Amino acid sequence: MKDLLDESLALETTAAPTRPAAPPAAAALAARQAVGGKAPDTAAFLANFVKIGEIAAPKAPAAPLFSPEDEPAVVAELIAAMRPMFQRDGGDIELIGITGATVQVRLSGSCAGCMMSARTLSTVQHRLIETLGRPVRVVPEIRH
């Protein structure tokens, strides 16, 4: 037993080698410049970052693709085309009405209580935006 205690005391008293603390950013920059290295070009980095963001951002069309009189028929057609996808999963979607930029739909069957209904409505919204060429908002009918 004495041997075990002696070994544990020996382990506690020997300190593990410690790593030196990292130099401050200014010191690291000065050291890099002293050996001929360049400092990172933050302006170029930010310009490239903005450029990548512009490429990834969806571009809106210059003018709406449909006249305001044709939009309800286009929305109804698109939702009717998407209904088989909903029905395959045991649910359904129905167009209730369009008010300005808001498209109100009714989800029924298994879609009504589904945890993925928000994601589903988001997909419908994106398809409508692509088709109409203007922002719209798809909201479910809320029953009290």
Q: Write the pLDDT tens digit of every residue in 3-54.
A: 555 555 555 555 555 666 665 666 766 766 766 666 566 776 667 666 665 5
Sequence-separated (6 or more) residues with CB below 8 Å from residue 136: 101, 102, 103, 125, 128, 129
Task: Supply the pTM of this predicted model.
Answer: 0.55
Q: Bridge partners of 140?
A: 105
Q: Please count the other Cβ atoms lying within 10 Å of the Cβ belonging to residue 123.
A: 13
Q: Write the pLDDT tens digit of every residue in 95-112.
A: 999 998 999 999 999 888
Type of residue numbered 96: I
Q: Please count the other Cβ atoms lying within 10 Å of the Cβ belonging to residue 128.
A: 22
